[in-house]
Structure 1
């Protein structure tokens, strides 16, 4: 029996997270924290609520994650000038050093995960998975719009 694309992607992501966590354990961050830092790097100054939605975690879960990263000196909360109840999240300069230190491990994991694939096949795989993600993202956004209308 052939597995569905959803099963394969989910199972592969689970295995990737496990391998990532095992390799960067000494750094003090997890795969989910790495994802959060990556999103923060792309969306510096995002509020916690929208970041929780993107990461698909409960706001309280994100708040605890942010607390740990603040304590580690990797993230800082800044007051939102437009809403005194909200916080904007920013990476600290210390995060750059952490990311640079972990980058070789992340690159090696990616190499191992795509072992046996040519450079063209790796590029194609990335493009195809990005297209699947875009398709799902579009449908999720359309569904959310219909539900709020």
Structure 2
């Protein structure tokens, strides 16, 4: 029996997370927390609601995670100047070296996962997975428009 592409992608992502978490255990940062930090580096000042949507967690789950990251000195909340009920999220300078370490760890996991592949094969794999993601993203956006 051949596994479906969805099963293979999901199982591979699970294995990536497991390996990443094992390598970052000493830092106290999980793969999900690393995603949060990465998105904050990409989108400084993002609000918690949109960030929760990006990483696909409930807002209360993200709020607790931000609490822990803030207690660790990695993230800070700042009042949103356009909405006094909202908070914008930013990385602290203390987060930068950790984020560099997390990026190096992610590169090491990818290198191990793609061992034995040529550079052209790695690029093709990346392009194909990106196309799958784009197709699903368009479909998701289309469904959202249909429900409005």
Shorter-chain TM-score bucket reads over 0.9
> What number of residue pairs does the alignment pair up?
148
> Please, which runs of 5 or more residues in structure 1 have no aligned partner?
none
TM-score normalized by the length of structure 1: 0.96
Displacement, 1:28? 1.2
Mapped partners of 2:19, 2:34: distance in 1:
13
Displacement, 1:9? 0.6
* Larger mean Cα displacement after TM superposition, 22-31 or 36-45: 36-45
2:74, 2:95 within 8 Å by CA — same for their partners in 1? yes
The equivalences for 1:47-58 within 5 A come to 47-58=47-58
Post-superposition CA distance 1:51-95 (Å, at most 9, x none): 111111000000001001101111111101111110011111111
Aligned to 1:117: 117
2:76, 2:91 within 8 Å by CA — same for their partners in 1? yes
The equivalences for 1:1-149 within 5 A come to 1-148=1-148
SS of the equivalent of 1:93 reads: coil
Q: Which stretches of structure 1, 4 residues or longer, exceed 4 Å deviation after superposition?
A: none
TM-score normalized by the length of structure 2: 0.96
Displacement, 1:103? 3.2
> Please, which runs of 5 or more residues in structure 2 have no aligned partner?
none
Mapped partners of 2:72, 2:29: distance in 1:
10
SS of the equivalent of 2:11 reads: helix
Mapped partners of 2:139, 2:22: distance in 1:
34
Mapped partners of 1:79, 1:104: distance in 2:
32
Mapped partners of 1:102, 1:39: distance in 2:
13
SS of the equivalent of 1:73 reads: coil
